[in-house]
Chains A and B, each alone.
Chain A
Amino acid sequence: MKITREEVEHVARLSRLALDEAEIEALTGQMDTLLGYVEKLDQLDTEGIVPTAHAVPMENAFRPDDVKPSIGLERALQNAPHSEEGCFVVPKVIE
Chain B
Amino acid sequence: MHPRYEVVIGLEVHVQLTTKTKIFCGCSTAFGQQPNSQTCPVCLGLPGALPVFNRQVAEYAIRAGLATNCQIAPRSIFARKNYFYPDLPKGYQISQFELPICEHGWLDIDKQDGERKRIGITRIHMEEDAGKLLHDGSRGSRVDLNRACTPLLEVVSEPDMSSADEAIEYLKQLHQIVVYLGICDGNLEEGSFRCDANVSLRPFGQTKLGTRAELKNINSFRFVKQAIEYEVERQADLLGDGGTVVQETRLFDADSGLTLSMRGKEEAHDYRYFPDPDLVPLVVDENWIEEVRAALPELPEAKRQRYIEQFELPEYDAGVLSAERALAEYFEALVGLHDQPKVCSNWVMGEVLRALKENEVAISDCPLPPALLAGLLKRIDDNTISNKIAKKVFEAMWQSGDEADTIIEKQGLKQVTDTGAIETLIDEVLKANPQQVADYRGGKEKLIGFFVGQVMQKSRGKANPGVVNQLLKQKLAG
Within 8 A of B (CB), among A44-68: 53-56, 58-68
Q: Which residues of A contact B19 (CB under 8 A)?
A: 65
The CA-CA distance from A59 to B54 in the complex, in Å, is: 14
The CA-CA distance from A54 to B19 in the complex, in Å, is: 27
28 A-B pairs within 8 Å (CB atoms) are namely A13-B268, A16-B84, A53-B99, A53-B275, A53-B281, A55-B277, A56-B280, A59-B283, A60-B282, A61-B53, A62-B58, A63-B52, A67-B26, A68-B25, A68-B27, A70-B39, A76-B36, A77-B36, A85-B35, A85-B142, A87-B144, A88-B145, A89-B142, A90-B143, A92-B135, A92-B140, A94-B135, A94-B141
From A10, A65, A91, give the contact of B20 (CB < 8 A): A65
User: Quick check: A14 and B270 within 8 Å, CB to CB?
Assistant: yes
CB-defined interface of A17-43 with B at 8 Å, one 1/0 digit per residue?
000000000000000000000000000
Looking at B54, B138, B281, which has the most chain A CB atoms within 10 Å of its CB? B281
A14 to nearest B CB, angstroms? Answer: 6
* B44 at the binding interface (Cβ < 8 Å): yes
* B28 at the binding interface (Cβ < 8 Å): yes
CB-defined interface of B95-114 with A at 8 Å, one 1/0 digit per residue?
00001000000000000000
List 19 additional A-B contacts (Cβ < 8 Å) besides A62-B55, A89-B141, A92-B135: A14-B268, A59-B281, A62-B54, A65-B54, A67-B28, A68-B21, A70-B39, A70-B40, A71-B39, A76-B39, A77-B36, A79-B46, A84-B142, A87-B137, A87-B142, A87-B144, A91-B140, A92-B140, A94-B141
* A1 at the binding interface (Cβ < 8 Å): no
Q: Which residues of B contact A79 (CB under 8 A)?
A: 46
User: Quick check: B139 and A89 within 8 Å, CB to CB?
Assistant: yes
CB-defined interface of B52-65 with A at 8 Å, one 1/0 digit per residue?
11111010000000
User: Quick check: A65 and B140 within 8 Å, CB to CB?
Assistant: no
The CA-CA distance from A63 to B281 in the complex, in Å, is: 14
From B56, B77, B138, give the contact of A65 (CB < 8 A): B56
The CA-CA distance from A93 to B77 in the complex, in Å, is: 32
- Of all chain A residues, the one with the shortest Cβ separation from B146 is A70
B275 to nearest A CB, angstroms? Answer: 5
* B71 at the binding interface (Cβ < 8 Å): no
With A70-B38, A87-B137: A93-B86 Cβ-Cβ less than 8 Å: yes
The CA-CA distance from A43 to B34 in the complex, in Å, is: 56
* B82 at the binding interface (Cβ < 8 Å): yes
Looking at B35, B54, B75, which has the most chain A CB atoms within 10 Å of its CB? B35
* B272 at the binding interface (Cβ < 8 Å): yes
Q: A-B pairs with CB below 8 Å: how many?
A: 136
Q: Which residues of A contact B56 (CB under 8 A)?
A: 64-65
User: Quick check: B142 and A60 within 8 Å, CB to CB?
Assistant: no
- Of all chain B residues, the one with the shortest Cβ separation from A54 is B280
A18 to nearest B CB, angstroms? Answer: 14
B156 to nearest A CB, angstroms? Answer: 21
* B401 at the binding interface (Cβ < 8 Å): no
From B28, B34, B137, give the contact of A84 (CB < 8 A): B137
- Of all chain A residues, the one with the shortest Cβ separation from B142 is A87
The CA-CA distance from A77 to B75 in the complex, in Å, is: 38
With A61-B53, A66-B26, A92-B141: A71-B281 Cβ-Cβ less than 8 Å: no
Q: Which residues of B contact A65 (CB under 8 A)?
A: 19-21, 54-56
Within 8 A of A (CB), among B71-99: 75, 77, 82, 84-86, 99
* B134 at the binding interface (Cβ < 8 Å): yes
User: Quick check: B54 and A63 within 8 Å, CB to CB?
Assistant: yes
User: Quick check: B28 and A70 within 8 Å, CB to CB?
Assistant: yes
The CA-CA distance from A90 to B134 in the complex, in Å, is: 10
With A59-B282, A68-B27: A93-B142 Cβ-Cβ less than 8 Å: no
Q: Which residues of B contact A2 (CB under 8 A)?
A: none
CB-defined interface of B364-393 with A at 8 Å, one 1/0 digit per residue?
000000000000000000000000000000
From A54, A60, A73, A93, give the contact of B133 (CB < 8 A): A93
With A61-B53, A88-B36: A54-B21 Cβ-Cβ less than 8 Å: no
Q: Which residues of B contact A87 (CB under 8 A)?
A: 35-36, 134, 137, 142-144
The CA-CA distance from A68 to B139 in the complex, in Å, is: 33
Q: Which residues of A contact B137 (CB under 8 A)?
A: 84, 87, 89
User: Quick check: B85 and A93 within 8 Å, CB to CB?
Assistant: yes
User: Quick check: A86 and B268 within 8 Å, CB to CB?
Assistant: no
B360 to nearest A CB, angstroms? Answer: 31
With A64-B55, A67-B20, A68-B21: A90-B141 Cβ-Cβ less than 8 Å: yes
User: Quick check: A76 and B84 within 8 Å, CB to CB?
Assistant: no
The CA-CA distance from A73 to B25 in the complex, in Å, is: 16
* A5 at the binding interface (Cβ < 8 Å): no
User: Quick check: B283 and A60 within 8 Å, CB to CB?
Assistant: yes
A43 to nearest B CB, angstroms? Answer: 23
A51 to nearest B CB, angstroms? Answer: 8
